[in-house]
């Protein structure tokens, strides 16, 4: 069986996109997904995303990590599938779609995609870090000299040591200005540092506001793959109307056989 695929990237977070409205892709074959994502023996990507039909919204997003397992929400993947849906002619400038963490709204211009994230009602504060779920679980930790920080080793240690086999994504943060933060992320499922993580930078913005490092309700987040913006509203210690904003683009397309 041959599949047409499209490669998308959002601030360096790259994804294989498949139009699965015909339900032809063998979704239960996790080894196949992992092979497609393998950078030496497959197409290569941080994850694979299926666009499927949904009765109540414009489409459904099904996300797999690079290890082949279906996973929790991916923010940059969500922005990329919006760009893919527009390319396919499913949507115009606005959309609603279903993902594993529920309903999402999004807006798209020529190159920018703004994605509404789920509300966040709880941030667990510890002396050294914060933990919250923005569609995926995230550990947020301030460090100094982020450029030389060993993200892989320290991230892997926390991902398994602190959170067990199920794990958490690990974000290391350095504040550059009042509303500008640099972030590097170790992603579970990829089991390595990625160039960006959408749910991660969302978690960073909210966590920094929670501990009063961020004084306003928007933040610029610099990642290895570019820059993202997070905007939000605060209502009685809950975070609502959260938007993740940044570029998303098609890189190339091709065919691959099983």
Q: Consecutive 10-residue runs of the chain (258 residues): their mean pLDDT?
A: 96 98 96 97 97 98 96 97 98 98 96 96 96 97 98 97 94 98 97 97 98 97 98 94 98 93
Closest listed residue to residue 183, CA positions, set 155, 157, 211:
155
Q: What is the pLDDT of residue 122?
A: 95
**DSSP classification of residue 71:** -
Residues 136 and 156 occupy one common structural domain? yes
Burial (CB count within 10 angstroms: exposed 0-12, middle 13-18, buried 19+), residue 77: buried
216 carries an active-site annotation: no
Residues 6 and 44 occupy one common structural domain? yes
Q: What is the pLDDT of residue 257?
A: 87
Residues 146 and 130 occupy one common structural domain? yes
Which three-class secondary structure state does DSSP give residue 78? helix
Residues 175 and 73 occupy one common structural domain? no
Q: What is the count of structural domains for the chain?
A: 2
Q: What is the pLDDT of residue 227?
A: 98
Q: What is the pLDDT of residue 163?
A: 96
Q: What is the pLDDT of residue 1?
A: 85
User: Rounded to an integer, what distance in angstroms lies between the CA atom of residue 193 and that of residue 11?
Assistant: 14
Residues 47 and 79 occupy one common structural domain? yes
Residues 93 and 131 occupy one common structural domain? no
Set 37, 80, 197, 216: catalytic member: 197
197 carries an active-site annotation: yes
Q: Which domain holds residue 89?
A: 2-116+248-257
CB neighbours of 214 closer than 8 A, spacing ≥ 6?
178, 179, 181, 205, 208
Residues 159 and 176 occupy one common structural domain? yes
Q: What is the pLDDT of residue 32?
A: 97
From the CB of residue 252, how many other CB atoms can be counted at a distance below 10 Å?
9
User: Rounded to an integer, what distance in angstroms lies between the CA atom of residue 54 and that of residue 62?
Assistant: 11
Long-range pairs for 86-89 at CB < 8 Å and ≥24 separation? 87/6, 87/250, 88/19, 88/51
Provide the whole-model pTM.
0.96
User: Rounded to an integer, what distance in angstroms lies between the CA atom of residue 41 and that of residue 35?
Assistant: 7
Closest listed residue to residue 213, CA positions, set 173, 241, 243:
173
The CATH number linked to 69 is: 3.10.310.10
Q: What is the pLDDT of residue 237?
A: 84
Residues 100 and 207 occupy one common structural domain? no
Residues 44 and 142 occupy one common structural domain? no
Q: What is the pLDDT of residue 236?
A: 86
Q: Is 142 left (phi over 0), alpha (psi -120 to 50) or beta?
A: beta
User: Rounded to an integer, what distance in angstroms lies between the CA atom of residue 97 and that of residue 109?
Assistant: 17
Which regions of the chain does DSSP assign to beta strands (E)? 2-10, 13-19, 47-52, 59-65, 94-99, 102-108, 112-116, 124-125, 130-133, 137-142, 169-177, 180-187, 192-194, 218-223, 226-235, 238-247, 249-257
Residues 128 and 236 occupy one common structural domain? yes
Cβ proximity of 191 and 181 under 8 Å: no
CA dihedral 45, 229, 146, 64 (to 10 degrees): -20
Set 37, 74, 80, 216: catalytic member: 74
Residues 105 and 81 occupy one common structural domain? yes
Residues 168 and 82 occupy one common structural domain? no
Q: What is the pLDDT of residue 258?
A: 80
Q: What is the pLDDT of residue 252?
A: 97
């Amino acid at each position: 069986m041959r599949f047409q695929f499209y490669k998308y990237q959002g601030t360096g977070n790259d994804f294989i996109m498949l139009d699965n409205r015909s339900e032809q892709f063998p979704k239960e074959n996790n080894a196949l997904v992992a092979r497609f994502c393998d950078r030496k023996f497959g197409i290569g990507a941080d994850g694979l995303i299926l666009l499927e039909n949904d009765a109540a919204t414009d489409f459904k997003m099904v996300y797999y990590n690079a290890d082949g397992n279906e996973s929790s929400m991916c923010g940059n993947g969500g922005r990329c599938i919006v760009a893919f849906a527009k390319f396919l002619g499913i949507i115009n400038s606005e959309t609603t779609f279903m993902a594993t963490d529920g309903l999402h709204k999004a807006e798209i211009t020529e190159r920018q995609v703004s994605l509404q994230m789920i509300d966040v009602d709880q941030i667990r504060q510890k002396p050294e870090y914060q933990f919250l779920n923005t569609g995926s679980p995230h550990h947020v930790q301030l460090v100094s000299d982020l450029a030389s920080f060993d993200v892989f080793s320290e991230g892997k240690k926390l991902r398994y040591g602190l959170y067990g086999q199920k794990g958490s994504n690990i974000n290391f943060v350095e504040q550059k200005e009042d509303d500008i933060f640099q972030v590097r992320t170790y992603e579970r499922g990829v089991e390595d540092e990625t160039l960006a993580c959408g749910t991660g930078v969302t978690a960073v913005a909210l966590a920094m506001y929670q501990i009063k490092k961020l004084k306003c309700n928007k933040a610029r987040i610099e990642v290895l793959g570019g820059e993202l913006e997070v905007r939000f509203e605060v209502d009685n210690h809950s975070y609502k109307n959260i938007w993740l904003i940044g570029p998303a683009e098609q890189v190339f397309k091709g065919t691959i056989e099983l």
